[in-house]
Amino acid sequence: MEALFKNQTTFTKTACIEAALSANKTYISILLFLSGVGLIHTGYTAYMIQEYTLLLCCMGGAIIAFVTPFYIYRSQGIKNYKSQLMLFEGSEPQVNITIYEDYLTFNKCISSINGDKSESSIKHDKITAVYNFKENFVIVYANQIYLPIQKTEFTKGSSEDFKEFLLKKGMKVKRKII
């Protein structure tokens, strides 16, 4: 079977952050947003009855509720990036990804004892989501594996063609804004 796309992705800080952002659970963000709105409403009521201590507590809580979704996943991405740097002795790991009609293969980042890098393959029907970020596509398999694919590093094909390929396969490419 002929390879449709080839890509060499480097797990940079941005790639790790975007992979972590794709793990963001939308319902948690919605609950935090509603909590923030509720705290603003309570703060306004406290202002009207001149309870300024409660007002300050509510405004602080609202700020925390609105900022939390951004902070949690970005900090998790940075933590993952630092762990990879330690694991690979200060260098950013590179993953070669080859996309075929029915599956994709990628080399595992860690070499075996004899120095060979092994490959894993995953069928496209296991994809649960695809996110389109500024610098990466993040493919989510079974809500457990998050594989970033850098848009600028295609050695065969292009990022626009890859997006069209995913759409032809019936996968929705979601634009994640957070």
The verdict on residue 20 lying in a domain is no
Distance CA(74)–CA(113), nearest Å, equals: 34
Task: Indicate whether this model's pTM tops 0.85.
Answer: no
Range of the domain at 136: 5-12+90-175
67 lies in the same domain as 119: no
Question: Which of the listed residues 67, 86, 105 is the one where a domain comes to its end?
Answer: 86
| Closest to 40 in 3D by CA, of 30, 27, 54, 26 | 54
pLDDT tens-digit series, residues 122-141: 787 888 888 888 888 888 88
pLDDT tens-digit series, residues 90-116: 888 888 888 888 888 887 655 544 455
* CA distances from residue 157 to 100, 127, 153, 160 in whole angstroms, order as listed: 12, 20, 10, 8
Percent of the chain residues past pLDDT 70, beyond the cut:
89
In this predicted structure, the answer to whether residue 10 has a pLDDT above a threshold of 60 is yes
CATH number of the domain within which 163 lies = 2.30.29.30
The verdict on residue 112 lying in a domain is yes
Question: Which of the listed residues 63, 86, 109 is the one where a domain comes to its end?
Answer: 86
